[in-house]
Amino acid sequence: MNILSIESSCDETAVAVVQDGRRVLADCISSQVDIHKIYGGVVPEIASRKHIEAIYPLADQALRQAGVTRAQLDAVAVTYAPGLIGAVLVGVNFAKAAALALDLPLIPVHHIRGHIAANYLAHPELEPPFLCLVVSGGHTMLVDVADYTKMTILGGTRDDAAGECFDKIARVLGMPYPGGAALDRQAQGGDERKYALPRAKVEGSELDLSFSGLKTAAINLIHNARQKGEDVDVPALCAAVSAAVSSALVSRTELALQKTGRTRLAIAGGVAANSRIRHDVDRMAQRRGVTVYMPPLSLCGDNAAMIGSQGYYEYLAGHTADQTLNAYATRSILGEQL
């Protein structure tokens, strides 16, 4: 089954062709990062306009690369939530038009379910059930994936997402948006013990996380040093932040493994590219005898191949939509009725 898949929830326009949920025939991305960099973050209005310009030629390019004609497509999958509403609407509208014109089923896909499915593309042997640590720019949660479309949220952040925390600190340090990857690079070789940063616990809720205290502490530390005319040891601070975020994530993940008894663990989302988190997750999984799955860096960030993968399983579960499909800025991963 060949699925044309569309992703436009933030600042990447992406179109892919995926066969039977596992085989990527084409995966095309047009990134807007260079434009938003000028403003220090995503400007929603500009994002929507850039998606409009990019989406049609990108779809054409994806079909050419895949060597698949329009007549050889079997369905159209699209991210319908969550994201910047104007941005998501562009992809949804394009997908609706394509499904109507080609008389194909339309499959709505939740963006975070897509991130989890990136693991199916990288690891042909991976099948549910498994536990997944989702860490992206806007979301941080522990998801029990009982089946391809049946999930439970075991815990998550009460305030900032891990990516938000990395990006805000990176921005105050003068790194261009989105600073997560740059902060990760800076952290290499830094002395993580030089700065003491808080590690928050959520009272009465041992699988939940909180990153706003850590973010504020790191930013205050930078401002205080600047006011006193002192230099900040950037690699040391980046290493301390990475260690604090990673240890919060890994400790909750380990507890969730213990509670659920799952023997397989996946990680997903843009922040799953972080080298410290990958290293610490791997070590913990080895210690516990748990098999760990991580997408390659190219499939951690936003892409449409992951939407095509999850779209296949949503289709098999009967989750299709008609031309009344809408886009949503926020929506639970649990899959309410559309």
Binding site for ligand KG4 (CB under 6 A): 10, 115, 136-138, 163, 166-167, 178, 180-181, 184, 269-271, 273-274, 301-302
* Contact pattern for Zn ion over residues 293 through 312, marking x by CB under 5 A: ---------x----------
- Provide the minimum distance between the beta carbon of 297 and ligand KG4 in the complex, in angstroms, as a whole number: 8
| Partner whose footprint covers residue 184, from Zn ion, ligand KG4, none (CB < 5 to 8 Å by kind) | ligand KG4
Cα gap 251→199, rounded to integer Å: 11
Output 8 or 136, the one with its CB closest to Zn ion.
Answer: 136
When the beta carbons of 136 and 242 are compared against Zn ion, the nearer one is 136
Whole-number minimum distance, CB 287 to ligand KG4, in Å?
23
Told to check if 192 binds Zn ion by CB under 5 A, we report no
Cα distance between residue 236 and residue 111, in whole Å: 34
The identity of residue 157, as a single letter, is: T
b/e 85-114 (16+ beta carbons within 10 angstroms → b) = bbbbbbbbbbbbebbeeeebbbbbbbbbbb
Rounded-to-integer distance, Cα 5 and Cα 239, Å: 37
Q: Which is nearer to ligand KG4, 33 or 196 (CB)?
A: 33
Query: Do residues 134 and 106 touch, judged by C-beta distance below 8 A?
Result: no
Q: At what angle do helices 234-260 and 275-288 cross, to 10 degrees?
A: 30
Cβ proximity to ligand KG4, 167 vs 280, nearer residue: 167
Q: Which two tokens stand for residue 225?
A: 């040093």
Q: Residue with the closest Cβ to ligand KG4? A: 270
Q: Which is nearer to ligand KG4, 271 or 325 (CB)?
A: 271
Cα–Cα distance for residue pair 208/202, rounded to 1 Å: 6
**Among ligand KG4, Zn ion, none, partner that 154 touches (CB below 5 to 8 angstroms by kind):** none
Helical spans, DSSP H, in the chain: 33-37, 44-66, 85-102, 111-122, 162-172, 180-187, 212-227, 234-260, 275-288, 297-300, 305-316
Assess 136 for contact with Zn ion (CB under 5 A): yes
The CB-of-301 to ligand KG4 minimum distance in angstroms stands at 4
Query: Among residues 26 and 88, whose Cβ is nearest to Zn ion?
Result: 88
Interaction site with Zn ion (CB under 5 A): 136, 302
